[in-house]
Amino acid sequence: MPVIGDMVTSPIDSEAYDYDSGFTPTVSEDDFMCDKSAVRAFRGQYEPPLYWTIFILGGLGNLTVMWIYLHFRQRLKTMTDVYLLNLAVADLFFLGTLPFWAVEASNGWYFGLGLCKVNSALYKINFFSSMLLLTCISVDRYVVIVQTTMAQNSKRQRLSCSKLVCACVWLLAVALALPEFMFANVKELEGRDYCTMVYWSNENNRTKVLVLALQICMGFCLPLLVMLFCYTGIIRTLLKTRNFQKHKALRVIMVVVAVFVLSQLPYNSVLVVEATQAANSTETDCDAAKRFDVVGQVLKSLAYTHACLNPFLYVFVGVRFRRDVLKLLRIYRCWPAQGVLSKIQGGPGRSSAMSDTDTTQALSL
C-alpha cells in the first residue's frame, strides 16, 4: 500500500490513519499535530514517474515471458517452468496495481471504496505469491541439482506436483491478503480522498503489528531463509563438479540472492522499525517522522523494482529463453539476421548452463 503522509493522531482515535507501508507515529491526545503536507508533496512528485516506469518495463518483460510460454507450450515440462509462468502472472497483476497508486499520489483516490479494497488486496496477493514462487524455484533448483537421482526418478510426479503447489501458493496468498479486504478504506485528507489501511484501535496497536509481522515473515524472512539454505547446498554441489559452466551458474546464483536482499532488506527493515514503534506506542518527533516517511517511500519503491527484474534474473539470463525470443522475432520478421541469431546463441556446438536438461536448466534458468 502506498505511504500517505498524515497528521499524527492519538492511538485511541478510531479515525486514526495507520498505514502498512511507511511510518505513521502515534502520540497522546495532549501532544502536537504533525503536518506532513511536505511528505505528500514529495510523494506526488516522486512516485508517479517511478511507478509508471516500473509498470512499463516490468510489463514488457513479464509479457514477453508469457508470450514465450504461450507460443512454445512444450516448454512447460519442468517444475521451474511452471513456477516461472505463475511468477510472470503474479508480477503482471502486481504491476497492474501501480497505475492506481501513481494516480492517487498525484491527485488522490478517485476510484471508490470497492476498488480500493480490491486493488489493495491484489497488490498483497501478488506480492506474497511472487515471494512464495521465488521460494519454490529455489527449492526446485535444490532438488534438481543436489538431489539429482531423486529428481530424475520423480520427474513426472514433480511436474504434476508443481501445479498443486502453485494452487496452494495462490490460496495462501489470498489468505495472507485478507487484512487488505478488512482494513483498506477511503479517507479524506485536505480535500482529497486516499486509499489507506485503517486498523482497529486496540492496546499496543496489536492488529497493525500482526499485519506487519505477517508481511515481514512471509514476504521476506521465509523466502530469504529458504533461498540461503537451497543456494548454499547448490553452491557446495557445484564446487565439487568439473563443469566449466559452473562458474557462470555460481555468478547467476549470487546475482539472484544479492538482488533479492538489496531490493527487499532495506524496506523490510523499515517495516520492522514501524512494527516496533507501533508495539511500543513510541512517540516520535515530527521532523523525524517526516524523514522516516520519505525514506520509507524511497525504499518501498526500491522493493517494487524486483517485479521489473524478475524476468531478467530468472528467465532472460538463460540461453533457451534468449533463443526463443529471437525465434519469435524472426517469425514476426523483426529479426531477420541468422548470423546474429547464431552469435547470440553462442554458436554451434557451444555448451550452455541453460540446456534442455532438467539439471542444467536449474543452474541459470
User: What pLDDT, on the 0 to 100 scale, is given for residue 191?
Assistant: 79
Cα–Cα distance, 357 to 361 (Å, whole number): 6
Cell of 242: 568439473
pLDDT tens sequence across 65-105: 888 888 776 667 778 888 888 999 999 999 999 999 999 98
User: What pLDDT, on the 0 to 100 scale, is given for residue 344?
Assistant: 45
pLDDT tens sequence across 170-192: 999 999 999 988 889 998 887 78
In-domain check, residue 134: yes
In-domain check, residue 252: yes
pLDDT higher at 137 or 282: 137
> Mean pLDDT over residues 303-326, rounded?
78
State yes or no: pLDDT of 32 exceeds 60. no
pLDDT higher at 337 or 54: 54
- Reported confidence tier of residue 225, pLDDT bands at 50, 70, 90: very high
In-domain check, residue 355: yes
Parent domain of 331: 37-364
Cα–Cα distance, 63 to 91 (Å, whole number): 10
User: What pLDDT, on the 0 to 100 scale, is given for residue 33?
Assistant: 65
In-domain check, residue 16: no
Q: Please state the domain count of the chain.
A: 1
- Reported confidence tier of residue 346, pLDDT bands at 50, 70, 90: very low
In-domain check, residue 8: no
Residue corresponding to grid cell 559452466 = 245
- Reported confidence tier of residue 306, pLDDT bands at 50, 70, 90: confident
Which of 115-129, 133-147, 204-218, 315-329 shows the lowest per-residue confidence on average (mean pLDDT)? 315-329
**64 in Cβ contact with 311 (< 8 Å):** yes
In-domain check, residue 72: yes
> Mean pLDDT over residues 336-359, rounded?
43
Chain mean pLDDT for the chain: 76
Question: How far does the chain reach from its first CA to its final CA, in angstroms?
Answer: 31
**329 in Cβ contact with 335 (< 8 Å):** yes
In-domain check, residue 280: yes
pLDDT higher at 308 or 8: 308
In-domain check, residue 78: yes
pLDDT higher at 325 or 75: 325
User: What pLDDT, on the 0 to 100 scale, is given for residue 121?
Assistant: 92
User: What pLDDT, on the 0 to 100 scale, is given for residue 335?
Assistant: 57
pLDDT higher at 355 or 225: 225
> Mean pLDDT over residues 125-148, rounded?
88
State yes or no: pLDDT of 12 exceeds 50. no
State yes or no: pLDDT of 7 exceeds 80. no
Q: CA 64, 66, 68 angle in degrees (round to 5)?
A: 70
Which pTM does this prediction carry? 0.78
Kindly report the CATH number assigned to the domain that includes residue 130: 1.20.1070.10
State yes or no: pLDDT of 347 exceeds 60. no
pLDDT tens sequence across 260-293: 888 888 888 888 888 888 777 666 678 888 888 8
